[in-house]
Structure 1
Amino acid sequence: MIAKKLKIYGGLLGLMTALVWPNAQALETQQLDKDASNEIPESSVPVFGQSLFQGGFKDQPFNGFNPDYRITVGDQINLQLWGAYSFSATLAVDPQGNIFVPEVGPVRVAGVKNGELNEFVLRHVKRVFKNNVRSYANLEASQPVKVFVTGYVNSPGLYSGFSSDSILYYLDSANGIEHDSGSFIDVKVLRGDQLLQKVNLYNFLVEGTMPALQLRNGDAIVVGPRNGAVSIEGAVQQAAQIEFIGPYTQLGEMLLVTKPDPQANFARITQVIDDRQQASYQPLSEALATPLYPGARVELVRDNDIKSISVSVSGEVDGPATFVLPYGATLEYLLAQLSFRANADRSAVQLYRKSVAEKQRVALERSLDALQMEVLTRQPNTELEKGAQRDNAAMIQNFIAQARKAKPRGQVVLANTPNAGAMLLEDGDELAVPVRASTISVVGEVVFPTSLVFNEKRKLKDYIELAGGFANNANQEELVILHLDGTISRIEDGKFNSRLKGVLRPGDEIMVMPKIQSSELQVTKDVTEILYRIAVGTAAVLSF
């Protein structure tokens, strides 16, 4: 059943605002005042199933009977007897649940399945007519009933029909479900205060299946309120708002309802999570498992149909957390959209890019592979060298294992580049606007890694001493200073006692690297290169 596949158990949409270059703005929610809601605007795509009750179900009563239909009071049974005794008539099931067969007497048929009716009646006939009499019993008409239809339907009321009519007949008689407020997946059939059946109309819409119900006088069909929904459009066979039950669903489950275009390969997802609007652009294969919360909007696209990109913004800015910009937008264009706070450091805007992080990761992996090969293939000349190399190899292997866990940030250095504003943004870029800093951090191989208030009169040596001095394993011949804007400075020990005016700035990280203790020159060079690459790429110092 589609209900199981979709987890429509108990738990994008509209195209994201089409932005016209060069007057593009961010999403509509990004244009709201600061005190306005951060909700995504209501979707304009149709509700899945809203056209269901245009098919005239109420004009076509169902006269057929399934084999499991159980005979009830008021049903009409056509009975034929022939042979030694002949009889033909349509008999009504009386209030006691019987039909009266001449020469045989009352036969209680109430509760008998329709598929077993003929054999059941024949057995009773043969109790009187042992030979030469045959019978044929056929359900001709079911009992007329009146059923209540209520809840989120357009015209609640009491409607006449037959016990064999489907709930679609009665829902259509009530002019259908209110598609803006009623649920297509939470329809209940009640008999008194007992739940007779829960019906998910998505099963009928997608697979054509409908539970076989046998209604009685006074039964009630109740349509519940609409549950959470996500909107899916773009490269799909039918753009629609799809309902689900629960706190969240997944894109893969929703696509079982509205089928994707075979060439769709990316998904743009916009939703509000923890009162913050978020947007992402992912390959469809990765997006299938993405949690979707009520109100989410998904646009499936073909790779060559990309018309916009999503860029997240954080830090000292007011406004939305995510901007959807025209494909081909530049950094300068995005910066013009931002509302900087008073304490924002505009000169140190940071840009992080997934493709850069991936390149950094690949370069690091290659260096680690080369180092591992160097260590494993070196041949010792003496037994003494063999023992030393074994210990050295164990140490290097441990270092390699730690280094492979490093995750580069992918920072794009914007400082000292006059044409940085003209740089094209990529989908998934992250822009961070730091607060105007007043401290300097000292990290790595010092006794007490810490942050200190910046004082332009202090020297590098002063900051090291305030952090407890060099640790035993510190490289005291060179320091690395990582600036907020992503640039780096490598300072040799001869300048440790200098003020370095203009080089040492608020927000900097003074990175004290570990000293490489290896008897092999090439290994020392390789490890040093890797350590610096990790420090710059991850803003962290890896111990050795």
Structure 2
Amino acid sequence: MINWLYRVSALSMLCLGLQVQALETQQIDKLTEQRLAAAGIAGETSPALPGPQRRSDGGIPVFGESLFQGAFRDQPFSGFNPSYRITIGDKINLQLWGAYSFSASLPVDPQGNIFIPEVGPVHVAGVENGALNEFVLRHVKRVFKSNVSAYANLEASQPVKVFVTGNVVRPGLYNGYSSDSVLYYLDSAGGIERESGSYIDIRVLRQGEMLQRVDLYQFLVTGKMPALQLRNGDSIVVGARQGHITIEGDVQQSAQIEFLGQSTSLSEMLMVAKPKPRANYARITQIIDDQQQASYLPLDQAVQATLYPGAHIELVSDSDISSISVRVKGEVEGPAAYVLPYGATLADLIDRIRYRDNADPFAIQLYRKSVAEQQKVALNRSLDALEMEALTRQPVTSSDKSSLKDSAAMIQKFISKARKAQPRGQVVLANNDRAGEMLLEDGDELVVPLRASTVSVVGEVVFPTSLVFDEANTLEDYIEMAGGFSNNADTEELVVLHLDGTISRIKERKFNNRLRGTLRAGDEIMIMPKIQAGELQVTKDITEILYRIAVGTAAVLSF
């Protein structure tokens, strides 16, 4: 194992030494580019669309970026819905016939009126388009009581100039009509900046006051767009990009999706990026408290997961897993989680790791959820057997009855504590030259420990502590430095748990030996409790369980 790890470590260091950092091509200052573009725009022309911009996050598109390809800019809105309200500058076609004939296109003047000969000014500003004809006819009938009919309809809405600014490609002043949507003006300005602009924080201002906040996700997902009638001098301001997550895999559309606030949930994000029917698992990688964390959850559990800005989610089918996530902790540099191809080996992972100067690559530790689960099952099986043994023992004499009752109560208390033990699931890599060929599983955790210089003495001693390792010291020396055995200690045998997951059981006759090669820096000397169960078989069962807990959890459970 040591030779294999040394070869892998040396290869990794050689690769690092050969890496040459290439100078990246200098990018044009984006702010300067925007200012230059804005200086050349007066809203009277339609500048050419910009060239393609580099996408972040591996080329996954920003949700909504396909909106602004010129379709809205090239198709101004010329129709009028019934709820449109007449405003200053609109033009109204009016026809009168019968006893009096008249036909003209009448502008709505600054007072909000149209002037009809023989009738006079009629105030139409604010009247809904659907009610315009009836409104005008009612005023005509006040003068012409009979034999005159009228027909009025909106010919054209008011031409306006609207400022578009903030995080858009070409800020400027753009021509349009008061009936044109926010999408028309944003498209005219080249669209929202892919890397910096927000699709959910767009504000429409009138004389510096908020008129409407627009969330384009509502339009993209449900088709809803607020009905706005813009005026000369209104401003459309695109805010800075909010927190976002990246979602890909078995979804209808892989995308970077924005959200408001400090966090969101996967269920909210899936309302935007619809999952495919076969998706049933989610792989989530994100930074929490400055630590990169990875998890792999069934989709019905993952939808409740809290997501933070920068989170990466991959939806998969459990029959089509193409990658796994492995956490790496300890004395390493680089990411805390690695996404590897399905079928990757331990050697594949170690090839990517960069060790810190104080790391001990020969004592790497691998922890696996499935192993922890198997250890827990085995522990519970042993506890079930012990419980059955304790509860079914029959007293031989009447004097045994009280003794058995006390013994059963003590064992039940022990079992209750033992069931709370959580095995770590360590996979022992030592003494195996082919450990590098082992396939990794999703959720594995690799720990590269610090080069150790101490040993720990835990369990049934007076002062459990860590002590500086000295090859000249014996087990007896370390126990004495920890205050000696406690009254409940098993003084006939102890366990030494090594960093690599292997164990040594040392008999009393060797306590005073130096044990070179057996006792190493980083070891835990575990003093087990003395068992006083009153029956040989029960004592044996409890001892086995205590050793299993000690090795599986790196902790001594008192009896």
Q: What TM-score, normalized to structure 1?
A: 0.81
Q: Give, in whole Å, the separation in 1 of the partners of 2:415 and 2:325.
A: 35
Distance 1:527-1:145 versus aligned 2 partners, 3 A rule: same
Q: Give, in whole Å, the separation in 1 of the partners of 2:16 and 2:241.
A: 24
Deviations 1:104-156 (A, max 9, x none): 65443323344554565566566667889876654443222221222222332
Does the alignment pair 1:423 with 2:432? no
Distance 1:355-1:165 versus aligned 2 partners, 3 A rule: same
Partner of 2:189: 174
Alignment partner for residue 248 of structure 2, among 226, 233, 239? 233
Does the alignment pair 1:193 with 2:208? yes
Code of the residue aligned with 1:500 in structure 2: it is: L
Asked if the contact 1:43/1:231 (under 8 Å) is kept, the reply is: no
Shift of 1:189: 0.7
Partner of 1:507: 522
5 Å-filtered alignment, 1:59-458, equals 59-78=74-93, 90-100=105-115, 105-117=120-132, 120=135, 138-271=153-286, 280-376=295-391, 391-458=406-473
Q: Give, in whole Å, the separation in 2 of the partners of 1:264 and 1:497.
A: 61
Deviations 1:359-416 (A, max 9, x none): 1122223333344444555566888666555554444444333323222111111222
5 Å-filtered alignment, 1:471-490, equals 471-490=486-505
Asked if the contact 1:29/1:41 (under 8 Å) is kept, the reply is: no
Shift of 1:85: 7.7
Q: Give the percent of matched residue pairs that are identical in Structure 1 and Structure 2.
A: 71
Code of the residue aligned with 2:271 in structure 1: it is: L
User: Which runs of 5 or more residues in structure 2 are unaligned?
Assistant: 1-10, 25-54
Distance 1:210-1:389 versus aligned 2 partners, 3 A rule: farther
Code of the residue aligned with 2:503 in structure 1: it is: I
Shift of 1:200: 1.4
Distance 1:85-1:356 versus aligned 2 partners, 3 A rule: same
Q: Give, in whole Å, the separation in 1 of the partners of 2:334 and 2:213.
A: 44
Q: Give, in whole Å, the separation in 2 of the partners of 1:85 and 1:370.
A: 108
Shift of 1:453: 2.0
3-state secondary structure, aligned to 2:455: strand
Code of the residue aligned with 1:216 in structure 2: it is: R
Asked if the contact 1:231/1:296 (under 8 Å) is kept, the reply is: yes
Code of the residue aligned with 2:558 in structure 1: it is: S
Asked if the contact 1:30/1:320 (under 8 Å) is kept, the reply is: no
Deviations 1:133-183 (A, max 9, x none): 876654443222221222222332222222111111112222322323322
3-state secondary structure, aligned to 1:54: coil
Please provide the CA RMSD for this pair. Answer: 3.8
Code of the residue aligned with 1:330 in structure 2: it is: T
Partner of 2:64: 49
3-state secondary structure, aligned to 1:51: helix
Q: Give, in whole Å, the separation in 2 of the partners of 1:111 and 1:359.
A: 74
Asked if the contact 1:77/1:91 (under 8 Å) is kept, the reply is: yes
User: Which runs of 5 or more residues in structure 1 are unaligned?
Assistant: 1-23
Does the alignment pair 1:491 with 2:506? yes
Shift of 1:202: 1.6
Distance 1:189-1:341 versus aligned 2 partners, 3 A rule: closer
Q: What TM-score, normalized to structure 2?
A: 0.80
Q: Give, in whole Å, the separation in 2 of the partners of 1:131 and 1:31.
A: 98
Q: Give, in whole Å, the separation in 2 of the partners of 1:324 and 1:157.
A: 44
Q: Give, in whole Å, the separation in 2 of the partners of 1:74 and 1:197.
A: 22
Distance 1:213-1:379 versus aligned 2 partners, 3 A rule: farther
Larger mean CA deviation between 421-430 and 72-81 belongs to 72-81
Code of the residue aligned with 1:219 in structure 2: it is: D
Distance 1:436-1:221 versus aligned 2 partners, 3 A rule: closer
Shift of 1:281: 4.7
